[in-house]
Chain A
Amino acid sequence: MKTSAYIILAIAILLPLSCRQDFLDVKPQGQLTSENYFASTEQAVWAVNTVYAHIRQNALPLHFIGMTDVISDDSDKGSEPNDAIFLTALDEFTLDPGHASVLEMWRTQYTGIARANLCVEKIPEVPGITEAMKNRLIGEALFLRAYFYFNLVRWYGDVPLITKTLNPDEYNQTRAPKDQVYQQIITDLVASIGLLPERTQYAATDIGRASKGAARGILAKVYLTRRDYANAEKYALEVVNSGQYTLLPRYSDIFLPVGEHSSESIFEIGCMAVESWEGRCEYNMVQGVRGIPNLGWGFNRPSDNLVAEYENGDPRREATILYVGEVLPDGSGVVQDNSALINERYNQKAWVPAHVGLQDNGPGNQRLLRYSDVILILAEALNEQGRAGDALIYLNMVRKRARGTNNFILPDVTVTDMRDLRHRIWRERRVELAMEHHRWFDVIRQMEVDPEYMLPRLKAIQPQFDRFDPMKHLLLPVPQTEIDLSGQAMSQNTGY
């Protein structure tokens, strides 16, 4: 019986061994979880960094390029005829609500917004964070959120306005009116101007983060789009008067490695090719020379219409378009003919010299906002307010730089008629900013401002603009799956 007692005791000891309450509280290994994140200033910085990284990785860049350049009059699909034919639907306006790019660009903006929202929500409570750092990081997040919404509202019009992390019971969203979205963008940008440092106040290693100048520049463009020319002038002028930016002497330098984060760069997303592939982007590859010497994909072919838009001798044409037989910008080779391509030419602004990365490990930064863009915004805003003389000063600043030392080309514009000058400024914008993914947004903005001027010019481009319907195509369709997943709470844009 004594033995039995020991045995009972042994069981009593052994059984509960496997029943400890916290035995199952196992954490993921080597991974932080959201419960214990945003616990330090360092983590707050990490979180904000991911929002920038998201712009760099931006799905497949083909979708972004398709919805900014290929869809516009600046470029065609490029590459071989059967490759990535979804871009043809954008080029020729046969797209429907199931189009891949329409969904991918929608998705990627909102993914960035979700990250920015998390930062805006969590950073104020980060323990031990200094006021200065908190302001800067929240300013960056607000700026980036506004950047994504500005893309969304221009592509799709009314969109769900999400400014906090959603709970599962909030997944059925409706589209907020465009004006409300713009109001949020303006609020965020105004706030970020107050919170962010100037570009030169950043350490050299932090160049590329959002600055006061970037927020002012985007805000000027927002107001220009809203046709609030006084405010557009105000913020563009603040950029000019900040003394932070100058035009580079030579236009073609902007897009070379030496032009990365130059004095002309207001907002730019960094990319670099390293062996781990962790700084890469595919932006350079998809637009690279298809064949020798680059082995890129050859998408986003500058259109005939763009080629014709340049004034005689405008060096910007050579800096923008890479032709067969042209010597590469670094002199390393000559573009060879690829018989599989029609009307072969490439976006030279996306060209990068040979680099240590493989093709899809591209190193080229994406220049998202340049000083000359802001100057032209200023010129346009002044002209629209009837101050043609002031406008000409800024317009001719851009032409002067483009001209360089060659005084036989690109003479100063002297037109003072508001409508004529408007068209001169628009033409300048087009050639100055060609293939930099601003064109579609300019097209739809200008269509609203002056359809009589724009529509015939677009319609002349055949067959690309044959199906273009200004009542329909100034907005892209809301992705069908999003309407379905919203529980049909969202409506579709007219005509789709």
Chain B
Amino acid sequence: MRSQYKSFLNQPANWLILFTFLLPSIMWGQNTVTGVITDGQTQEPLIGVNVGIKNSNKGTITDFDGKYSLDVDDLNVTLVVSYIGYAPQEVPVNGRTELNIVLNENTTMIDEIVVVAYGTQRKSDVTGAVSSVKASELQRIPAPDLSTALQGKVAGLEAISSSRPGANSELTVRGTGTFNGSRPIYVVDGLILDDPANLSANEVESIEVLKDASAVALYGARGANGVILVTTKKGQSGKPIFSFNTYFGIQELDRKIALTNGTEYARLSNLAAMNSGNTTLPYPDPEAIGEGTDWQDVIYQRAPISSQNLSVRGGSDKMLYYISGEVMRQEGIVRSGYFDRYTLRINNEYKITSFLKFGHNLSANFRNSNGEPGGIVFNAIAADPTVPVRDTAGRYGDTSVKSNVSNPEAQLEYNAYNRGNEFRMVGNAYAELYLWKGITYRSSFGFDLINARGKSFVPEFFVNVRQQNPNSVLTVTWGNTRDWQLENLLYWNKSWTNHRLDVMVGTTAQDHTEEFLFGSKRDLVGVTEDLLFLNAAGTDNTYGHGIGAFYRYVSYLGRINYGFRDRYSITATFRRDGSSKFGKLSRYGNFPSIAASWRISEESFMPEISWLNNLKLRGSYGITGNDKIPYDRAFSTITNRIFAVFGAGSAEALNFGAIQTAVANATLQWEENVHTNVGIEFGLLNSRLTGEIDYFRKFGRGIITDPSIPAYVGSQGNPFVNVADVLNSGVEWNVRWRSKAGKVNYFLGATGNTLNNEVLSLADNKTEILDGPTGTTLATRTAVGLPIGAFFGYKVAGIYQNEADIAAYPNVGNVVPGDLRFEDVNGDGIINTMDRTFLGSPVPDLMYGFSAGADFMGIGLSVDLYGVTGNKIVNAKKMNRFFGAPNFEESFLDYWTGEGDSSLEPRVTNGAYPNYEMSERFLEDGSYFRIRNITLTYDFPETLLKSIRMTRLQIFASTTNPITWTSFSGYSPEVGGGPVSRGIDRGSYPVARVYSFGLNAGF
């Protein structure tokens, strides 16, 4: 063998043959293009720029000196260079081996890649209304919940936040179009989730909020409330980049509610007693009482919030990886509450062969939390200020006698063990096959597994007769949720001269099960944590319960996106959804959409207008669904546990009973929303001014509600039917000015929307939905012509000044001078429930945000502002005087003092008619304007960083919610609630002000 080989090489002609064979492999493997990538304006090298080869998986990133080195198959490839914030470029190599590239800052956003339903698109090809938020903007708000950071960032999105540890914000996209579940769905790396609470801002690359039909119709029966698309960070080829991000913050109560102090409370209580005819005053000497107890000081504290995140991302041409670990901790501003979260994420992608990729996005997290004692926020507002926290003998003061609430400090001792812990794994594994001529097949299997446990313990204690627990009680809950989703999608891209076609077709299936267990026992043998198990109960009085849920979806979907000359673009989507939540006859529905866009600025007939860089018109129309109702509503279920009692004396016992108690509607279907959207996008003055303006109309039809059927049918509860219509419409804007003044880069942004919400029809047999329990009545009325959940009650015409007034104006009897005089709205000379009328809307008609930022020599400053106007809030906690005499809000001090007093605050009474009926008295303006966040950053100069081998080192200080301007008297004008009962403040958990500082490092 050896000799033979030698002889082969000994012949010069064979050398030539060998060379011919080797040549291609040398050319494939050994051509290297190198170069430096710099900023077009500063000429500074850019670090971490992606340099890839077009139509290939290969790529690299630039190093600290902006240098890259990339092996290419041949020297005729085209390099694709992209960097966040800069316009991407495609540069043909044309045989060169050294290629320096200059990138210019992208101020137009035009050629960004945005994530859309089941894929990605160039921003310029997008025909729908999509708002993107980048990770860097999310990280400024210290909150465990990603959605909190979206407030004011996305036109058309309303976020009502809460600072309760671990709480999610309530999001509404383009107005509430349903009486049922109104939250948007989240799609995290393609996985549809109802609750994204496992995500941290550090792990997120970008968020896209999909709003119009063209964007959401591919989510079919679940798209109507909007879609929040979350893309987590992925690996990038190149050297590993470690990032360490941390912050520490202090949260504090923004403002206390103005309440009466001890003396004032005593004085008002005396008045109330006199006004109800008592001659003996409860407090003979109010002045002697003094300040008394400020119960708000008792329960609130300054509470820390912190997060540490360490991640590494990198990759080779075979594998990309992103691994992130995080510890997040938040204590409540109400004592005893906390939330800790430990997160691990591994997002990897493996290139198995040139045509097969495999990857996974996996997240595991563990949460520990403790809830504050139930009702403590309200109790601290209501508690009697004349009672000390503890008396001189050390016993807890009795706040139940007068104010009928528990002593908050005692609650913190006895009712503060409300533990929760949750383990959740969410993720998906996918394979992508490049098949043939632009056809790619992607199959993905996703899952969401949640194991949530809760444990509450109340020891045996005695504070007073009404605040006591004679037998200790332990309650344990155990919930298990399992969801899997399977997706099979085929993509086809094809470009010809002037034409571009993207096609996607696919099927998906989803299966969701839940089970919840509940057990409770009394008389524990001890109180220490090691004994808080159900088997440590001393007696056999037990209670156990469980409940399950199970639903599935099957869907078929497709999209065609056709572009002509980069000017005209048409997108058509279609989804057919099958859902087990609905009856056999009605479980499939079709959700189509069509959209088009026209980039006028690319037209040849457009004269060369120097100040116009981009002008795009787009419009869309389509249908989506909302199925956020209980999974079993279409079934005629048998109601269990309707017990009869038979037997006498010792034979007396419960006898199990079960029967169908309500008529069900087997043809129940999802609610449909018809979306219409017209938008304009522009870039002016060398793209310094960019923006988008959209008009939207979301017409909800077949909204599920339960119009009455005759009672003689004998159904307990009316069947739910698809019957009502609701309209939301408005204008959204997002405008940004970005420029430079000397060495200062700065931008100004404005975002916002108007919103008009109206119920167009309910049902023949249902004229109104009354909800929003407050005091002794219902405060909201949803009816045709009104916004959903409109406030409903009496208009205040004044105060009865004297007996002549009472004689002159209609009244219901039992009124005396100093009582509220209601308007006789229907003019029938009688004041009764028929005179209750529309008082205001809980829905803001304008939501707006401003942002501004500047940076100079590494110092950056950004400011975010947010406001809403046009909505009202019901101060229900002030109305709550029917049982006992809770502490008075300061507004009571303006009480009517006698004839001629123009005050609209009636005489002081405890819960008597008519002063505590739902009326304008309790309605407050919900408008507010807030400095949402101010962040000051400093980036250490690269020259310094290089010497310590770091790529980035930023320190920052930030304050969130430092100032809120509002006339609302409660803690925070952000008051949520369900679709038909929002905006009622019964003592909501306050939204905190936060001061935080931290650092972001890369190395």
Contacts and interface: CB of A to CB of B under 8 A. Distances in A.
A117 interface: yes
A54 B712 CA distance: 15
A114 B713 contact: yes
B800 to A, nearest CB: 18
B543 A18 contact: no
Interface string B605-634: 000000000000000000000000001100
Contacts of B543: 275-276
A24 B587 contact: yes
A53 B657 CA distance: 8
Contacts of A162: 712-714
B659 A111 contact: no
A325 to B, nearest CB: 23
A4 B658 CA distance: 58
A485 B580 contact: no
B495 interface: no
Contacts of A49: 642-644, 655-657
A28 to B, nearest CB: 4
A53 B710 contact: no
A111 B661 CA distance: 8
Contact of B509 (A7, A18, A25, A279): A18
Contacts of B652: 260, 270, 272
Contact of B713 (A7, A26, A110, A278): A110
A201 interface: no
A205 B714 contact: no
Contacts, number: 221
Contacts of A31: 632, 635, 637-638, 640
B435 interface: yes
Interface stretch (B8-16, B39-47, B100-108, B550-558): B550-558
A163 to B, nearest CB: 11
Contacts of A365: 645
Interface string B550-587: 11111100000000000000000000001110001001
A205 B580 contact: no
Contacts of A471: none
Interface stretch (A206-214, A216-224, A389-397): A206-214
Interface string A86-129: 00000000000000000100110011111101110000000000
Contacts of A275: 541, 543
A482 interface: yes
Interface stretch (A32-40, A242-250, A460-468): A32-40
Contact of A24 (B579, B645, B649): B579
B658 A29 contact: no
Given A14-B443, A56-B644, A3 B655 contact: no
B509 A52 contact: no
Contact of A34 (B486, B508, B636): B636
A279 B490 contact: no
B913 interface: yes
Nearest to A152: B712
Q: How large is the interface on B (under 10, 10 to 19, 20 to 34, 35 or more residues)?
A: 35 or more
Contact of B711 (A11, A35, A110): A110
B646 interface: yes
A30 B546 contact: yes
A451 B509 CA distance: 74
A14 to B, nearest CB: 5
B256 interface: no
A205 B658 CA distance: 19
Contacts of A27: 550, 635
A336 interface: no
A77 to B, nearest CB: 16
A293 to B, nearest CB: 13
B32 interface: no
B913 A53 contact: no
B714 A115 contact: yes
Nearest to A116: B714
Contacts of A110: 711-714
A20 to B, nearest CB: 8
Contacts of A486: 710, 712
B765 A19 contact: no
A204 B648 contact: yes
A481 interface: yes
A204 B652 CA distance: 9
A272 B643 CA distance: 10
Nearest to B664: A34
B59 to A, nearest CB: 24
A11 B710 contact: no
B483 to A, nearest CB: 14
Nearest to B710: A485
Interface string A359-390: 00000010000000000000000000000000
Contact of A37 (B488, B547, B653, B660): B660
B552 A23 contact: yes
A11 B637 contact: no
B766 to A, nearest CB: 10
B18 interface: no
A32 B646 contact: no
B711 A103 contact: yes
A46 B549 CA distance: 24
B570 to A, nearest CB: 27
Given A23-B554, A46-B656, A28 B635 contact: yes
Nearest to B551: A26
A46 B641 CA distance: 9
A162 B711 CA distance: 12
Contacts of A269: 645
B436 interface: yes
A204 B655 contact: no
A14 B647 CA distance: 60
Nearest to B814: A82
B28 interface: no
B647 A56 contact: no
Nearest to A48: B657
Contacts of A168: 663
Contacts of B912: 82
A15 interface: yes
Contact of A173 (B649, B654, B712, B716): B712
Contact of B645 (A48, A56, A484): A56
Interface in B689-717: 708-716
B651 interface: yes
B963 interface: no
Contacts of B965: none
B548 interface: yes
Given A47-B659, A117-B714, A208-B646, A29 B550 contact: yes
Contacts of A34: 636-638, 660
A278 B659 contact: no
Contacts of A45: 655
A274 interface: yes
Contacts of A159: 712
Given A204-B648, A279-B645, A33 B712 contact: no
A111 B710 CA distance: 11
A3 B435 CA distance: 9
Interface in B331-372: 355
A23 B631 CA distance: 15
22 contacts: A4-B435, A10-B433, A10-B443, A14-B488, A24-B578, A25-B584, A27-B635, A29-B513, A32-B638, A32-B658, A49-B643, A53-B643, A111-B711, A168-B663, A171-B713, A207-B651, A208-B646, A270-B645, A270-B652, A272-B653, A275-B541, A482-B712
Interface of A: 3-4, 7, 10-11, 14-15, 17-19, 23-35, 37, 43, 45-50, 52-54, 56, 82, 103, 106-107, 110-115, 117-119, 159-160, 162, 166, 168, 171, 173, 204-209, 260-262, 269-272, 274-276, 278-279, 365, 479, 481-482, 484-486
Minimum-distance CB pairs A-B, first 10: A114-B714, A270-B645, A29-B548, A49-B657, A18-B509, A261-B648, A26-B580, A50-B657, A107-B711, A32-B638
Given A7-B435, A31-B640, A45-B655, 8 more contacts: A29-B549, A47-B659, A82-B913, A110-B712, A111-B661, A261-B648, A272-B653, A484-B765
